[in-house]
Amino acid sequence: MAGVKKPWDEMRPGHKRQKAPKVEEEPELRGFEHDVKNIARHSLFGATIGGLTGVCISGIELMRDPKQMAVGKRGLATKKMFRFGGEFGMWFAGFHGTRKILQLYAPRLSADRQEDFIYTSALAAGLSLTPLLVVPRLRSMIPYGVFLITMDAVNSYTSGG
């Protein structure tokens, strides 16, 4: 199958990547009501992804500690899972909400939309990671938080922002 394109073909040296055709985007509706809905939608997305990630991470942490999964302590394990899910959900909702607020209201730093997205993502990451650094109980979330932000940035960058 010589004519079939494989995903790793783009990684070969000398390969020229074809640019996707430009798709005209509809202008985003603006106004206080539309902005609040847009920020809420992005925050809800962050809460969903962060909550699911928190529950999964706490599940993995509980599997590492068989004492917490003992017959009499399943209630404590469930409580820990929901606490982690809530903390990650609230934190990632804050990150997404902050980033959307910066996209809507911060002055443009460059003419390139993707470059501007990188700037707002970095600033939102710094603002949202600060509480994790300050509060000792939340410091264990830092590696996972950095991972979530990195995966979100890679996804946004590869999909065109």
3-state secondary structure 15-77: CCCCCCCCCCCCCCCCCHHHHHHHHHHHHHHHHHHHHHHHHHHHHHHHHHCCCCCCHHHHHHH
Question: What pTM value is reported for the model?
Answer: 0.72
pLDDT of residue 157: 73
pLDDT tens across the length of the chain (161 residues): 556 776 666 666 766 666 666 666 666 677 888 888 988 998 999 999 989 988 888 888 777 777 666 656 677 778 888 888 898 999 999 999 999 998 888 777 777 777 788 888 889 999 999 999 999 988 888 988 898 898 888 887 777 55
